[in-house]
Amino acid sequence: MRSAATDLWRAGVVLAVAVALVMGAALSASASFVSQRTVALEVSSATVQAPGNVTTAGSWCWWSTFGVQLSWTPSSSPGVSGYTVRVHREGGTSSIVATVGREATSFSGVYWGGRQEHRFTVTTETTYGWTAVSPQTSPVRC
């Protein structure tokens, strides 16, 4: 035979479970954790190397016709896809005169000189989109 205390205890447990279910359905669960740890981390910053020793040795001018002969040492950066040659004129204008492959170390071309100074740069182009520009050459006047 059950006692009244047992029945009361069972009713309390059922009521507690029912309240817990109702409250649990109405409230969303959340938790927050805080943890902190100090670790040593080495970060490297890669850079692209510009072509070196860009020279205009062998360039010539006849009247207003300008023959440029550029040479350079290749970039040692990984992923070089090619080089872009740009002419810089008096007055600040510039334009691309050639795009050459990754194995190239020279470029030759003939242009109208316009009786002004020309300086050249060679830009390293990479497969990952980074570039590096050489210093301008000494001026070549035509």
- What is residue 38's predicted lDDT score, i.e. its pLDDT? 75
- What is residue 93's predicted lDDT score, i.e. its pLDDT? 92
81: Cα separation from own chain's centroid? 15
Give domain status of residue 71, yes or no: yes
DSSP state for residue 27 in the 8-state scheme: S
- What is residue 43's predicted lDDT score, i.e. its pLDDT? 47
DSSP letters for 67-111: EEEEEEEPP--TTEEEEEEEEEEGGG-EEEEEEEETT--EEEEEE
pLDDT in tens, 15-72: 666 666 666 656 666 666 777 777 665 544 579 999 999 999 999 888 888 899 999 9
Give domain status of residue 70, yes or no: yes
Q: What is the mean pLDDT of residues 7-13?
A: 72
What CATH number does residue 128 fall under? 2.60.40.10
Closest C-alpha among 50, 51, 68, 58 to residue 117: 68
Q: Is residue 12 scored above 80 in pLDDT?
A: no
Number of H helices, E strands in the chain: 1, 9
Give domain status of residue 93, yes or no: yes
Give domain status of residue 64, yes or no: yes
Give domain status of residue 137, yes or no: yes
- What is residue 84's predicted lDDT score, i.e. its pLDDT? 98
Per the structure, the count of domains in the chain is 1
pLDDT in tens, 73-126: 999 999 999 999 999 998 899 999 999 999 999 999 998 877 788 999 999 999
Closest C-alpha among 120, 88, 122 to residue 104: 122
Instruction: Answer yes or no: pTM beyond 0.85.
Output: no
SS3 of residue 122 by DSSP: strand
pLDDT in tens, 108-119: 999 887 778 899
